[in-house]
Amino acid sequence: MTRPAYTPNFDGKKALILHRPHPVADAITRQLAQLGIFCDTCWPAISASAAGSADLIFFDVDMGHDEQFPWEHGQAPLPAIALIGSEAPGRLAWAISLGADAHLLKPVGSGGVFTALVIASESFARRAAMHSELDALRARLEQREAIAEATACLMLQGNMPAEAAYAQLRREAMTARLTIEAMAEQIVDELRAGHVHHRS
């Protein structure tokens, strides 16, 4: 059985509300204050300083556009909550393409911000973990070639079967405290540079 949830806590965090001055922004500001969150409202552009210090962002979907964001499209480096008034499919598609982690429907009253924050934080954490896992898998995939090449080199050098060559590669990686991929790249690099080691 999984442990029940901890009480999410946002005390001391900083939020950015990308929305023109409006009761929606005021309502969000009031709810954020109850959670101990400071916030800045900006429109139409996000200042570099505000972007750098924010922990999360609320962004307007009704009047928003790509150029407002100082990061690559869809790559918000913080939990992002879409503020949706018009439910027109085009606007929703834009919010999705921007990588919204959660949303709030306008008008905003006395509730909803806490829920959006909890969901956005969790889905941002998943998004970040998934991205770094993807990066790691991609890197390992690229290094597969090096493993094959290094194994082949060791086979030739030691006149041994593939299994034994691979086992040696693994042993050397462990001794050098490297990943097997990094060890393979090192072996291939050394051979390319003309070093011929007599490996034992």
What is the C-alpha to C-alpha distance for residues 70 and 183, in angstroms, rounded to an integer? 39
Give the nearest distance from C-beta 105 to other proteins in angstroms. 14
Helix, strand and coil content of the chain, in percent to the nearest 5, comes to: 50, 10, 35
Three-point CA angle 98, 101, 107, nearest 5°: 90
Q: Is 5 in the site for other proteins (CB under 8 A)?
A: yes
Q: Is 35 in the site for other proteins (CB under 8 A)?
A: yes
Binding footprint of other proteins, residue count (CB under 8 A):
25
Q: How far is the CB of 102 from other proteins (least distance, A)?
A: 17
* Residue 110 near other proteins by CB under 8 A: yes
Of 11, 67, 72, 87, the one binding other proteins (CB under 8 A) is: 11
Edge to edge, the sheet with strand 56-60 lists 38-42, 14-18, 56-60, 80-84, 102-105
Q: Is 114 in the site for other proteins (CB under 8 A)?
A: yes
Q: Which of 93, 96, 136, 162 binds other proteins (CB under 8 A)?
A: 136
CB 31 within 8 A of CB 10: no
What's at 74, amino acid-wise?
G
Minimum CB distance to other proteins, residue 130 (Å): 9
Q: Could you say whether residue 139 binds other proteins (CB under 8 A)?
A: no
Q: Is 36 in the site for other proteins (CB under 8 A)?
A: yes
**Which residues contact other proteins by CB under 8 A?**
2-7, 9-11, 30-31, 33-36, 109-111, 114, 125-126, 129, 132-133, 136
